[in-house]
Amino acid sequence: MANQAGSNPVIVLTKADTAEDAGLFQGQAEALQRDLPVIALNGRSADAVSLLRPWCGIGQTVALVGSSGVGKSTLVNTMTGSESDTKQKTGTIREYDAQGRHTTTARSLHGISGGGWVIDTPGIRTLYVSDVVDGIDTLFAEITELAPLCRFRDCTHAHEPGCAVQAAVASGALVADRVERWRNLLAENRHRTPVVSGPRGNKIVRKKKF
C-alpha cells in the first residue's frame, strides 16, 4: 500500500534492545522487497532520531504504521523530544491488563526536532489489499520482471510450459513460498477491487459488505 501511494516504505524494527540478534530479523525484513531500507532501533533511545534522519528533515513527512503496541507513539515522543505535557500517551500503563487495547485512538501530526513532521496513527488490526496492483508489482519486482519472458502472454505461472517464473523456482533463483505469496496477494487484490465495465457505465461486478 505504501508503494501504491507513492511513498517510500521503510521498515522500522522497534524494541531491538530486547532481541539477542536483531540482525536476523533485519535480514528477514530486507528480503520482503528489493532495496527496502530496514532499521532496527530502540524507540526509547535518542539514537533512534539519528538512525531515521535520512527520512526526516525539512520538507519531509513520515507516518508510523503498525500493530498496536509496537512502539509508534514511543518513537514519536523520541523524535519530537516532547516535554511531558505534549507527549503522546504510550502503552506502559496498561501493559499488565487489557491485551490488544489500542493506546492511540486518533491520528496526529507532530514536528520532529531538527525538521520534518511525523504522523502517529492508531494500531492496525487487519490490512486488506485493494486496487494496489502496481504496489504489488514493486513489492515482487524480481518476479514481475520475469513474467514477460513466459511463453504465453496470459501465463498464470502455475502449470504452463515455458513459464519463466516456474523455471526460476526450479533453478533455485526464486523461493516457491514467495511466488505463492505473490499469487495470493494478487488474488486478494483482484477479489477486493471493484471492476467498472459494461455499456451502461459503472457496473460493480463484485460488491462485498464488511
Residue 2 CB coordination number (10 Å): 16
Helices (H) and strands (E) in the chain, counts: 7, 7
Among 6, 59, 84, 92, binds ligand GTP (CB under 6 A): 92
Q: Which is nearer to ligand GTP, 33 or 74 (CB)?
A: 74
Q: Is 80 in the site for ligand GTP (CB under 6 A)?
A: no
Q: Which is nearer to ligand GTP, 96 or 210 (CB)?
A: 96
**Which of ligand GTP, Mg ion, Zn ion, none sits in contact with 155, Cβ below 5 to 8 A by type?**
Zn ion
Contacts to Mg ion by CB under 5 A: 72-73, 103-104
Given 3-state DSSP classes, what are the helix, strand and coil percentages for the chain, each rounded to the nearest 5? 35, 10, 55
Q: Are 125 and 101 in contact (CB under 8 A)?
A: no
Q: Which is nearer to ligand GTP, 104 or 166 (CB)?
A: 104
Task: Choose among 116, 7, 125, 26: nearest CA to 66.
Answer: 125
Among 64, 112, 132, 150, binds Zn ion (CB under 5 A): 150
The DSSP call for residue 202 is -
Q: Is 157 in the site for Zn ion (CB under 5 A)?
A: yes
Give the residues lining the site for Zn ion (CB under 5 A). 150, 155, 157, 163, 165
